[in-house]
Amino acid sequence: MKRDPDSILNAELSHAVASVGHTDHLLVVDAGFPIPADAWRIDLALTRGIPEVSTVLEAIHEELIPERVVYAEDVPEMNPDFDSFLRELYDGSGAALDTVAHEEVLEYGKRAKAIVRTGEFLPWGNVVIQCGTDPKPWFDGEHVTMPEAYRERYEEMYGQSP
């Protein structure tokens, strides 16, 4: 049993989160997303709405550092509650939130490291998480200089200068 009971308990999802590296893509998708046959598919769908995309995103967010989050450009207008949820979840994480054409979200499925299918029936309920890193451990050496872009991410993540 894992030490932290609030961490991800699903073995395959936990493995996927531990396997992604900087700039890899992890998708959390609704029940209808067309997952390519050769994709690493983690199917959590049980029944309609179980689990919800938001529940899975929250669990992943506790264990994964996002650098960029991408979702369909239709969401802000056509599904404003989901847009608000995403903005609130990733606020202060240092992640850039970007919207793209729905078709482009589908294209991410072809190159994702893993795709997590939920039971959600949610319009445009597909989210691409581009994995990031915590800049501090990488640039913590005595004679190492943190590039400005990483310094800005650090400040957004921690609310202070490194």
Tens of pLDDT, residue by residue over 54-64, are 999 999 999 99
Instruction: Confirm whether 15 is a catalytic residue.
Output: no
62-81 residue pLDDT tens: 999 999 999 999 999 999 99
φ, ψ at 17 (rounded to 5°): -60, -40
Residue 24 has pLDDT above 90, yes or no: yes
Q: How far apart are CA 85 and CA 90, in angstroms?
A: 9
Name which residue leads in pLDDT, 108 or 142: 108
Fold of the CATH domain 27-131: RbsD-like fold (3.40.1650)
Give yes or no for a contact between 17 and 63, defined as CB atoms under 8 angstroms apart.
Answer: yes
* Res 5 pLDDT > 80: no
Predicted pLDDT at 2: 67
Q: Judge whether residue 136 has pLDDT over 90.
A: no
How big is the CA angle at 25 (ends 22 and 31), to the nearest 5 degrees? 155
15, 22, 61, 102: which one is catalytic? 22
Residue 1: what pLDDT?
Answer: 60
Average pLDDT over residues 147-152: 82
Give the chain's mean pLDDT: 92
Domain segments of the chain: what residues? 27-131
Contacts of 93 (CB under 8 A, 6+ apart): 61, 65, 66, 156, 157
